[in-house]
Amino acid sequence: MRNTHKDKVPPEWIRKQTLVNAERYITEELKEYENKILGAEEKIIDLETRLFNDLVLTILEYIPPVQLDSVLVGRFRLPAVICCPFNRKQLCQTSP
């Protein structure tokens, strides 16, 4: 609001910022909304962290069996590739 109209500002408006030949105002309702928006990022980070930690705790019990499976698959896969020319040829081909 220009300084020339400063006297017309409603009393419930709160001065927020001084500009060149003007003032910027805000209402209590807008101030509360601004605080809600600014606090949302922190709440999002907290929620994401909590969800990630819950996910890690949920899958933690499955890690050892999956690791064991991968070791066993690796042991069985290598001899099959070496011993069988058909498998070796099939595995070496790249798809278009």
Give me the pLDDT at residue 84, please. 60
Name the pTM for this structure.
Answer: 0.44
Q: Render the burial of 10-35: b for 16+ CB within 10 Å, e for the rest.
A: eeeeeeeeeeeeebebeeeeeeeeee
Contact 12, 32 (CB under 8 A): no
10-residue stretch averages of pLDDT, the chain, 96 residues long: 72 73 84 89 94 96 91 72 58 54
